[in-house]
Structures are given as C-alpha cells and as structure tokens.
Structure 1
Amino acid sequence: MMADPARILVWDWAVRLVHWLMVILVPLLWWTAEEGYMDWHRSLGLTMFGLVLFRLIWGLIGSWTARFVPMLRRVGMLKSYIGKLRAREHGPTFGHSPLAVLGVFALLAALATQVTTGLFSVDIDGLESGPLAIMVSFETGRQFAEIHELNFNLLATLIGLHITAIAIYHFVLKEKLVRPMVTGLRSRSDFSAEQLPENRSRPIPMIAAAILSLASVMVILNFG
C-alpha cells in the first residue's frame, strides 16, 4: 500500500509500542508489589528495564522525533511556547513540544531510577531481593529499596501530571494527542513546511537496540 501523502509519520512504531507497554506495566508493577506477587514483580520489572534501556538507546539512534538532541534544542523555546499557550496562539508541534520534552525527560529519569534501584533492592527480612542485590550489602540493598519506594511516589505524580496535561490539551486547547500515539500519523496540513524534518523508520538501528536491550536483560537474569 502506498503512503497517504496527506498524512505524515510523527511517532515510529517503536516509540508507540514502548509507550503503551510502559502504560500497561506501571500499574501491573504497582499491583504485584502491593499484593506480594514478587516473582511476577521481578519479571515485569526486568521487562520494564529492557523497555527503558531500549528507549534510551532509541533516543540516541532512532527516528527524528524519538531522538533526545532535537528535544533538547526545543527546551530553549520553552519561554516562547508558554507565552503562546497563554495567548491561545500555539500550533501543533512536530514531535514533543518544549513542555513535553521536560515531561519525557522527567518520566524517563524516574523510570530509570525505579528499575535500577529495583535491581539492587532487598526487603526488610532479606527474603525478597532484586537480581543484582548480591552485589551489595544488606544495608545498601535496604537503602535501594527505600529509594525504590519513594521514587515510585514521584513517578506516580509525574504520570498524573502527564495525564492532566493530555486532558488540558484535549479539552482546552483542542489538540488531540492520544490518537497520533496510536496510529503514529498526523495530518500534514497541521504543520508548516519548515516544521517537517525527515522522520522515517530505521529498522536496522531498531533491531540493534532491541538486541542490545534483550541481551542486557538476559545478562541480569543469568547473573541473578
């Protein structure tokens, strides 16, 4: 099938798949921890570790809207963007807006902290631990566990802010952000010509990032 010239790829399928898998995993991780299903919690946590690692790699070698460098350049436009939001003069952004960039980095940092501390965490009686907890002392493992618990509260707050922002864009600013994260596409007419850098799928780097992420998870599994 030929591509629709009236629509343009904004989010490649790797970004979308990782995003929605994370959406599913976060509440499952919370639930398994609360209910004491620690075998499931560890397995899901390692899955989240692989997803976070893939997203970090993909932020370096992925499609244009996935990469971190173009996002960082947009942070410099934050003041202007907020001014346009207040004046209701903003237009759709190809990729992440300057405000969304801050949210993406905050969420990725919180997720990376969560999965990393989980790897080394030890519970209070020493019966349950992360797969790399044998590398640290019991006291250090407990410190990781405390950070793990506190950081989840931060992560939950950031997720709440993220959902609130999407709702504001949808109902107040009349910009629908969820559908493009499902289909990957937006109408080309939403953007001016100068807003459209090349954004194409990159299958070979995608496969390389997936293999590296999976290999890292397998190393941790074998180590534990």
Structure 2
Amino acid sequence: MTDTLSVARTRVWDLPTRLFHWALAFAVIGLIVTGLNGIMEWHFRLGYTVLALLLFRLVWGFVGGRWSRFAAFIYAPGSVIAYLRGKAHPDHLIGHTPLGALSVFAVLALLILQVATGLMADDEISASGPLTRFVSGAMVSLATGWHKAQGKWIVIVLVSLHVLAVLFYVLVKRHRLVGPMLSGDKLVIAGPASNKNGNGNGVAPSRDDAASRTLALLLFALCAGVAFWVASLRL
C-alpha cells in the first residue's frame, strides 16, 4: 500500500504577523513620502510607529505562530544553496523561502538601523531626534548623514526590490504570496494525513487562537508604550 499526497488549507501566517506586515508596509511608504517632502512632524510619528512595530516583531519572532518564529526561517548556507539549485526542502515552500528569509532579515536590520539613526539625527533646522541630547556631537553627525543619505536610499531600493520580487513570484512563477498574507492560509501539499497536527496534512500550523492574539495585543501595547516613552524624550 503506497502513501498518497494530501492537500489541505493550513494556517501559516497568524493574524498578528499579517497585521504587522501590512502596517509596516504602509508606515515605511509613509516614511519615504514624508521624508522626501519634508513633512517632518508626520515623519516622526510614522518613525515611532515603525519603532513600535519592529520591537513587536522582534519579540513575536520568539513567541509567535510556528511559521512566524525566527527559528522557522533561519537556514544554514547549505539549505540556501540547495534551494538555489532547485532542491528545496518541503518546509521551504510553506513559510519563508531561504531567499525570502534573507530578505526579511535584511529589511528588519536596515529598518532598525534607520530608526535608530533617525532618533539621533538633527538637521539643525527644524527636526531633531529625541536621543540627540544623549549622544555626542560626532554620533549625531554620523547618524544624520546616514539617515538622510545612504540609509534613505537603501530603504527605497530594498522596498522596490521587495515589490519587484513579489511581482516576479506572482506573475512569473505563479506562487500565491499576497493571498496567504491576507487570509493567513496556504494550500500545503504534504504526505499522508496526520492527526498529530490537527490539520490533516502532517504540517504543523501556526497557532492563531484568541489566546495568542490577546498575547500579541498586550505585547504590542507594551512596545507602543516604549515608543511613546522614546518620543516623550524629544525636546
């Protein structure tokens, strides 16, 4: 008797992760627009929003749903090479692919750096970050230069590449990327049905129940409180 493959709808992206994703996307676009047009008061507000979101994602990467945890998409170099050679592990097609994971970590790291330098930046005209008075003048100058020049353009390039990559996967490779990030579910092809995971296809779904959503809400409230406190330091 041979095993047969099964296809089942599986919860991959929990609601907190989905809300984070779209909130961060709109906030970053808003930061770019307000920064380029000198709308600094809104630029700061969106910056504090991104700070709260990034703090939340760092915590949620350890306690969130199965496929939202960093442990689920930290790949060894060998896995990345195998994926590039077309020898993907089945898990690579459920959550973040190895290339997608590299993109996620790159974007998070860059945004953390951009927010951090923004908090220490001072244009000496009308806008200064809340942490400028706690660091040296040399650090303020370095942070301002990075935030207004290299950092800004790298963010724009990464955002553009991310959009192009999504379009490539959707239009050329016919991968459903946008739908699962809206609904949270993916159609996963796996081995024989498994009662252990409760989803009928042997793939462990992400936890996305009332308890986990309540935890996420409390964590985000805490992160928002930290961002609000940082904002209050601005003179």
TM-score band w.r.t. shorter chain: 0.7 to 0.9
Which residue number in structure 2 is paired with residue 138 of structure 1?
Answer: 137
The structure having more radius of gyration, on CA atoms, is: 2
Deviations 1:44-76 (A, max 9, x none): 110011111111111111111111112114654
Question: Among the aligned pairs, what percent are the same residue?
Answer: 31
CA distance in 2, matches of 1:195, 1:144: 49
> Which runs of structure 2 are paired with 1:117-132 in the superposition (5 Å)?
117-123=117-123, 125-132=124-131
> Which runs of structure 2 are paired with 1:1-224 in the superposition (5 Å)?
6-73=8-75, 76-84=78-86, 93-123=93-123, 125-149=124-148, 150-188=150-188, 190-192=189-191, 196-201=203-208, 202-224=212-234
User: How has the CA–CA distance of structure 1 residues 36 and 92 changed in structure 2, closer, same or farther, with 3 Å as cutoff?
Assistant: same
CA distance in 1, matches of 2:13, 2:227: 25
CA distance in 2, matches of 1:89, 1:59: 22
CA distance in 2, matches of 1:89, 1:223: 48
Q: Once the 2 structures are TM-superposed, how far is the Cα of residue 157 of structure 1 from its aligned partner? A: 1.7
Q: Once the 2 structures are TM-superposed, how far is the Cα of residue 90 of structure 1 from its aligned partner? A: 8.4
CA distance in 2, matches of 1:195, 1:167: 30
Q: Once the 2 structures are TM-superposed, how far is the Cα of residue 81 of structure 1 from its aligned partner? A: 1.0
Deviations 1:131-177 (A, max 9, x none): 21121233321211111121121122222222222122112221121
AA aligned opposite 1:129: S
Could you state the TM-score of these two structures normalised by the residue count of structure 2? 0.83
Q: Once the 2 structures are TM-superposed, how far is the Cα of residue 182 of structure 1 from its aligned partner? A: 1.0
CA distance in 2, matches of 1:54, 1:89: 29
CA distance in 1, matches of 2:202, 2:82: 16
User: How has the CA–CA distance of structure 1 residues 103 and 75 changed in structure 2, closer, same or farther, with 3 Å as cutoff?
Assistant: farther
CA distance in 1, matches of 2:167, 2:151: 24
User: How has the CA–CA distance of structure 1 residues 14 and 217 changed in structure 2, closer, same or farther, with 3 Å as cutoff?
Assistant: same
CA distance in 2, matches of 1:118, 1:15: 25
Deviations 1:82-123 (A, max 9, x none): 1117xx998971110111110000010011111111111111
Q: Alpha carbon RMSD of aligned pairs, Å?
A: 2.5
Could you state the TM-score of these two structures normalised by the residue count of structure 1? 0.86
Q: Once the 2 structures are TM-superposed, how far is the Cα of residue 218 of structure 1 from its aligned partner? A: 2.1
AA aligned opposite 1:179: G
Q: Once the 2 structures are TM-superposed, how far is the Cα of residue 203 of structure 1 from its aligned partner? A: 2.7
Residue 84 of structure 1 contacts residue 90 of structure 1 at CA under 8 Å; is this kept in 2?
no
Name whichever structure is richer in helix by fraction: 1
AA aligned opposite 2:227: V
User: How has the CA–CA distance of structure 1 residues 119 and 91 changed in structure 2, closer, same or farther, with 3 Å as cutoff?
Assistant: closer
Structure 2 unaligned runs (5+)? 1-6, 193-200
